[in-house]
Amino acid sequence: MLKETIIMRTTEEILKEIYNLILNPSTREWERYLLTNTKDNLEAQGNESEQLAKLEMELRPLAIRNNLTPDVSDFYQRLIGKDVQVTTLDEHQIRDPQFQERAIFAGGCFWCMVEPFETQAGIVSVLSGYTGGKLSHPSYDQVNSGMSGHVEAVEIIFDTRIISYQDLLDLYWQIIDPTDALGQFQDRGLQYRPIIFTTTSEQIRLAESKRQQIVDSNTYKKPIIVEIKEAASFWPAENYHQEFYKKQPKRYKAIKRARQQFLTYRHLRGKLRNKIGLKNLY
């Protein structure tokens, strides 16, 4: 994906960004209160370095706990001097319909759904976003509330000459818990339920065949609850969430480790269940 680095340079540029955050409906009231105070003080008094240092100090407790809204979090990163890579949609589109295809998978928090696919040969682009609900242009807070009907998902553009949809399906089933209808791993809520969103009739056929194969394998005692639905509108998530594994590598590795430990345990139990035929193994 094409990246741009935003560097705050002038008071005018900073004020413009603060204005946009104040008007952003996703900005929480406490954040808006702090941003409005900073804007007013900058306009009345100037003294940019002092006002921004004060704002950084006020936002810091929420930033440390990763409790800022996504756009404010990006602003805070720039405030403390870190480059923020902006994911654009220019590269996330099908440019060669003859050999490129779109796939959409939901399997828990999209932070952990990007790297497994993006690092495969033949992947053109992976975008984190929201889909499956009726709300247009949903924000992270709206989806995270569980009331929007959307799930967190990844939209993948891939080159069919290098990697097939069947390959993507095989990978998908390796990185989810297909028996958990109320979330995935430590992520709880309907917004994290596993769903395969299909974009073609052939994807429907392959997805249903793969799901039946998993059911017939007797790997899981609990029912397989993964849904297969036709793809609807896919709404890109905020920049903060895009390629999270690159932006927050330490935090991502900790989440990934816990997820892998659980999956390893489940897969081993599944193999043992099949090998010795224990119907009640788990």
Integer Cα distance of 57 and 173 in angstroms: 44
| Residue closest to 255 by CA, chosen among 83, 108, 154 | 108
In CATH, what number is assigned to the domain containing residue 201?
3.30.1060.10
Average pLDDT over residues 237-253: 89
The single-letter DSSP state of residue 114 is: S
pLDDT score recorded for residue 79: 87
pLDDT at 281 > cutoff 60: no
125 located within any domain:
yes
**Same domain assignment for residues 115 and 61:** no
Same-domain check for residues 76 and 109:
no
Say yes or no to pLDDT of 174 above 60: yes
- The pLDDT score that the predictor gives to residue 262 is 84
Same domain (yes/no): 113, 193? yes
The answer to the question of residue 51 being in a domain is yes
231 plus 126 within the same structural domain: yes
What pLDDT, on a 0 to 100 scale, did the predictor assign at position 279? 45
pLDDT at 247: 85
Q: Looking at the annotation, which residues are catalytic?
A: 109
In this predicted structure, what is the pLDDT of residue 80? 86
The whole-number average pLDDT for the span 215-219 is 90
Give the Å distances, CA to CA, from 217 to 170, 184, 222, 271.
14, 21, 12, 10
Q: Find the domain containing 29 and state its range.
A: 3-87
pLDDT at 150 over 60: yes
Is the pLDDT reported for residue 207 higher than 70? yes
Q: Last residue of a domain, which of 58, 87, 116?
A: 87
186, 236 contact by CB (below 8 A)? no
The answer to whether 231 touches 197, Cβ cutoff 8 Å, is yes
Decide the pairing of beta strands 195-198 and 227-230.
parallel
User: Could you report the per-residue pLDDT of 96-123, keeping only the tens digit for each?
Assistant: 999 999 999 999 999 999 999 999 999 9
Q: Are both 111 and 228 inside the same structural domain?
A: yes
106 with 228, same domain: the answer is yes
Q: 9 vs 222, which has greater pLDDT? A: 222
Mean model confidence pLDDT for the chain: 88
Same domain assignment for residues 36 and 60: yes
In a domain, 262, yes or no: no
Closest CA to 144 of 211, 89, 196, 70: 70
pLDDT band at 250 (very low <50, low <70, confident <90, very high): confident
Cβ atoms < 10 Å from Cβ of 77? 18
| Residue 50 domain-assigned (yes or no) | yes
The rounded radius of gyration (Å) of the Cα atoms in the chain is: 21
Q: Is a pLDDT exceeding 90 seen at residue 200?
A: yes
What's the pLDDT tens digit per position in 53-91? 999 999 999 998 888 998 999 999 888 887 777 776 777
